Amino acid sequence: MNYKRILLKLSGESLMGDKQYGIDNERVRQYAEEIKAVHDEGLEIAIVIGGGNIFRGLSAEKSGMDRAQADYMGMLATVINSMALQDALEKVGLKTRLLTAIKMEQICEPFIRRRAVRHLEKGRVVIFGAGTGNPYFTTDSAAALRAIEIKADVVLKGTRVDGIYTADPEKDLTATKYNEISFKEVYSKSLNVMDMTAFTLCEENELPIIVFDMNKTGNLMKIAKGEAIGTLVKVKQN
């Protein structure tokens, strides 16, 4: 395998499948099988999931809700998604641990960095819920922060597009894909990869990011084996 330890970032919307909101159990099962296949090859896997399929703090703020209150509600939505994925992973035979930045002892463990690392070393899939535990931070920032804390080799951002493009490929048919790009180029070209806090954290800690299509069967395994899937963002280009 090309990596020893990865952090997989999934959006809440990715769990919707073809639905307009909520959780598509078939899509979650598909993800669980993809993750199991990679785990069976010996890869240590941590996961962060967004909550946008259930509740989005920024949208609620625009409609008049207090931003901090809305963000805390969004954190709870990520825990719901995390529990759904945890259930699917355990149904395919994986041992998991859900660790959250907000204490919820009846359903998960509190996030403790050393405990998270130990779970990974023991072969458990670790899911990080409730973002960073602080309002005004996205789950992208949580993914970058947790990846750095557990010393992951790479952040894999699973999306519904197959990489980073010069423009939105769903709106601009002339958009072209980058196979590899530097952090500085992403800044200079104002490309949308992650929010700036998350992106800066990755750059400062020289943590590469791969943006790829998680919905295409086999992509996660191909990346784990070192194939050039999606777009690689790194500090310097060759």
pLDDT at position 218 = 95
CATH of the domain at 41: 3.40.1160.10
162 is in an annotated binding site: no
> Do the annotations mark residue 71 as ligand-binding?
yes
In which domain, by residue range, is 152 found? 5-234
Q: Decide if pLDDT at 1 tops 80.
A: no
CB 68 within 8 A of CB 94: no
Is residue 135 annotated as involved in ligand binding?
yes
Q: Is 10 annotated as a binding residue?
A: yes
In this predicted structure, the answer to whether residue 24 has a pLDDT above a threshold of 90 is yes
Specify the number of domains making up the chain: 1
**pTM beyond cutoff 0.75:** yes
187-203 tens-digit pLDDT: 999 898 888 999 999 99
Mean pLDDT of 170-186: 90
Report CA-CA distances (Å) from 150 to 106, 123, 124, 173, 234.
24, 14, 14, 39, 19
